[in-house]
Amino acid sequence: MRRGWRTIDRGLLRDAAAIGVAIFAIGVSFGAIAAAAGLPTWAVVAMSVLVFAGGAQFLAVGLVAAGSPVGAVVGGLLLNARHLPFGFTVAEVVGSRWPARLLGSHLMVDEAVAFALAQPSPQRRRTAYWLAGATVFVVWNVGTGVGIALGAAADPAVLGLDAAFPAGLLALLAPSLGDPAARRVAVVGAGVALLTTPVLPAGVPVLLALSGLVVAGRVRSRPGGREEPE
Amino acid sequence: MIALIVVVAVLAVGTYLFRLTGVVLAGRFTLPASLQRLLPLATVALLGALAVTAALTEAGRAAGVARPAGVLVGVILAWRRAPFAVVVVAAAATAAGLRLLGVP
């Protein structure tokens, strides 16, 4: 591991720090919203430490506050089912040793996956994944605590934090979207998710984005990759 | 109280199992090349859909103007290769500024 850490270049560190600052702010807004919704502190903290998935946590808090605990569980699990294909994608990055698998799986957040996917070499992917995952885990939980303490004083809408999460995620995806096939799949998938959001239960539309794979076509899968027929 | 414990516990265990299952199964057998090629694309599709629905919708309805405008500013900056921190801060500042002006 020490050799790995010594090879971290300044670009990776700078980006991971920026991700950390953004996720800290979103963590603060989560803690504040959950506290304002009347959830006890232990439940808010337990969600951030144990569930550790921002989108599902916001969804669950909203549905619990609306009196629908079953909806919170079903919606949260549907939204988090995307981590199953993520696991296949980052398995090589996480490694094959069991301690690394058990820990690396818990750190599998959207930002770490997108950040790793954007790196050109296996070594950089590994460093990016662990660096972003660990950073996000720490700042998300510290942020949640700060948000609970601030309570209603930290209104995420006033600070524009609701725009920070999607903008940050799209910025992390930008390098992967350089590939034409990825761009086509992402556009169709996002379109399907967007169109079905008003009519389907929370969590389902994002999974339906996988339908975008029908336009994956038979072009190169990575920049610089060879043309290969399907 | 009990309901809340169950909600947090089931979400935590279920999410962890989703995360661990992919990592472990990927080591058990080699996926066919065609499927291996699709995996990064599937990941991009899921993350992109998550970002776009979070940008444009709130509880199944349209998310107003300020948030999408902020995200749009961030996307333009990301496309112009601005640093990640600039993208995120500009997106949040745009949304906050518009709301200050009374834009929903």
So what's the pLDDT on residue A6?
55
Residues 136-195, chain A, touching B (beta carbon < 8 A): 157-174, 176-177, 181-182, 185-190, 192-194
pLDDT tops 60 at residue A143: yes
- Lowest mean pLDDT, pick from A44-48, A116-120, B71-75: A116-120
The reply to whether residue A82 touches residue B46, judged by beta carbons under 8 angstroms, is yes
The reply to whether residue A81 touches residue B18, judged by beta carbons under 8 angstroms, is yes
Residue A162, φ and ψ in degrees, nearest 5: -65, -20
Contacts of B42 in chain A (CB under 8 A): 85, 89, 185, 210, 213
So what's the pLDDT on residue B28?
86
For chain A, give the mean pLDDT: 89
Q: What is the pTM of this model?
A: 0.86
Cα A61 to its chain centre, rounded Å, is 17
SS3 for A177-219 is: HHCHHHHHHHHHHHHHHHHHCCCCCCCHHHHHHHHHHHHCCCC
CA distance A108 to chain B (A): 7
pLDDT tops 50 at residue A119: yes
Beta bridge partners of A128: none
Each domain of chain A, given as residue ranges in start order, spans 2-168, 179-230
A64 Cβ partners below 8 Å, 6+ apart?
A37, A39, A72, B4, B7
- Residue with structure tokens 């996002």? A190
pLDDT tops 90 at residue A111: yes
Residue A95, φ and ψ in degrees, nearest 5: 100, 175
Q: How far separated are the first and last CA of chain A, in Å rounded?
A: 38
Please state, in angstroms and as integers, the Cα–Cα distance from residue A80 to each residue in A203, B27, B41, B44, B91, following that order: 8, 21, 18, 15, 25
How does pLDDT run across A177-195, given as a tens digit for each residue? 999 999 999 999 999 999 9
CA distance B88 to chain A (A): 5
Of B47, B67, B77, B98, which to mutate for an interface test with A (greatest number of A Cβ within 10 Å)? B47
Listed ranges A19-23, A58-62, A134-138, B55-59; the one with the highest mean pLDDT = A134-138
Range A122-132 burial, b when 16+ CB lie within 10 A, else e: eebbbbbbbbb
* ipTM, two decimals: 0.92
Interface check B64 vs A, CB under 8 A: no
The band of A5, judged by pLDDT with boundaries at 50, 70 and 90, is low
Please tell me whether residue A154 adopts helix, strand or coil conformation: coil
Beta bridge partners of B57: B62
The reply to whether residue B92 touches residue A164, judged by beta carbons under 8 angstroms, is yes
By C-alpha distance, the chain A residue nearest B98 is: A160
State how far the Cα of A216 lies from the Cα of A213, in Å rounded to an integer: 5
- Residue with structure tokens 């304002």? A36
The reply to whether residue A186 touches residue B48, judged by beta carbons under 8 angstroms, is yes
Each domain of chain B, given as residue ranges in start order, spans 1-30
Interface check B76 vs A, CB under 8 A: no
How does pLDDT run across B85-99, given as a tens digit for each residue? 899 999 999 999 999
